[in-house]
Structure 1
Amino acid sequence: MIMNARQIALSTVLAGLALVAPGTPASADRIANSTAVFAALDKVTGRVQPLEIPMGRTVTFGALTITPRACYTRPSTETPLTSAFIEVDEVVLDGSSHRIFTGWTFAESPGLHAVEHPTFDVWLTSCKTPSADISAGRRSNAPKP
């Protein structure tokens, strides 16, 4: 049987697809980190302060309280993608607080889901894992945000 160029190209593509195991994820596992690193801006003073916050802990910056719930990165061999799920509350003068942001933020696109406030801005810059966690190989196979 003689095959034309189109048939050869199609058979090459199909052979390549057969090499990919069904159900194999297209990207590497994400790494669950224990600390989220943010930059916080006080617009009145112009002060930018780094904030390193362990998962589940709450840190106050001005009138904002920031609580990271998850912070994921990819292995260094993959395209960078750093994301964190955070909750941000504003504490008002009477001492009460109300939620101003809940959601995912992305270090590579800080403006995509930025925490903006009339006086303060907060954005994700990176995630960190202590060296003990790295050697243990903490990884998550949960769905990506």
Structure 2
Amino acid sequence: MKTCVLASIVSLVLAAPSWAQDNTQPTSDSATDAADLLRRDDPDNTVQRGPLSSEPGTVVVLRGLDKVTARTRDFEVEIGDTVQFGALSITAQYCRKRPPEETPETYAFLQINDRRTDGFGVDVEGEQVFSGWMFASRPAQNPLEHPVYDVWVIDCRA
């Protein structure tokens, strides 16, 4: 038993110098290039960036869920246009989809208004219920919080 414990302690002491080495530096240029590609779309990155590897899209593909009827509908919104989904008015301002050689991500900037009526069917000023970025890979990160409807980004097309 003592021999086993002693052997474990000796192996830990001998391995400690290799653990103490600084492993934070990339081991190759390809690792550095990949990290640069992943950070290229980061707005908080203050390092001078090269050109983006993809072009902004012209059409956002969204999926809407009506929670009352449990029906889903896929619809396309051109950038700058507004589409109606139930009582929601959805305006797409921007979208981009990363190319396949980078980490896959599709994101869009949407503004969503909840249309209101005065009780007699006449539209009155609605309330903006969402204005911000939605990501296809993380729909729960910036969700539309509405009691009746859910909206997700599916794709961005040129």
Tell me the TM-score normalised to structure 1 length.
0.71
**1:118 corresponding residue in structure 2:** 147
Selected match of 2:128 from 89, 99, 110: 99
Structure 2 residue matching 1:26: 3-state secondary structure: helix
- Structure whose CA Rg is larger: 2
**2:106 corresponding residue in structure 1:** 82
Instruction: After TM superposition, give the deviation of residue 90 of structure 1 in Å.
Output: 0.5
| Pairs within 5 Å for 1:15-26 | 26=36
Selected match of 1:55 from 79, 82, 89: 79
Paired letter, 1:69: Q
Whether contact under 8 Å (1:116, 1:122) holds in the other structure is no
Question: Residues 99 and 76 from structure 1, CA distance in 2 versus in 1: closer, same or farther, beyond 3 angstroms?
Answer: same
Number of aligned positions between the proteins: 118
Task: Give me the whole-angstrom Cα distance separating, in 1, the residues matched to 2:54 and 2:62.
Answer: 19
**2:94 corresponding residue in structure 1:** 70
Q: CA RMSD in A?
A: 2.7
Higher RCO (Cα < 8 Å, 6 or more apart): 1
Moved over 3 A (4+): 13-17
Gaps of 5+ in 1: 1-5, 130-145
Instruction: After TM superposition, give the deviation of residue 29 of structure 1 in Å.
Output: 2.2
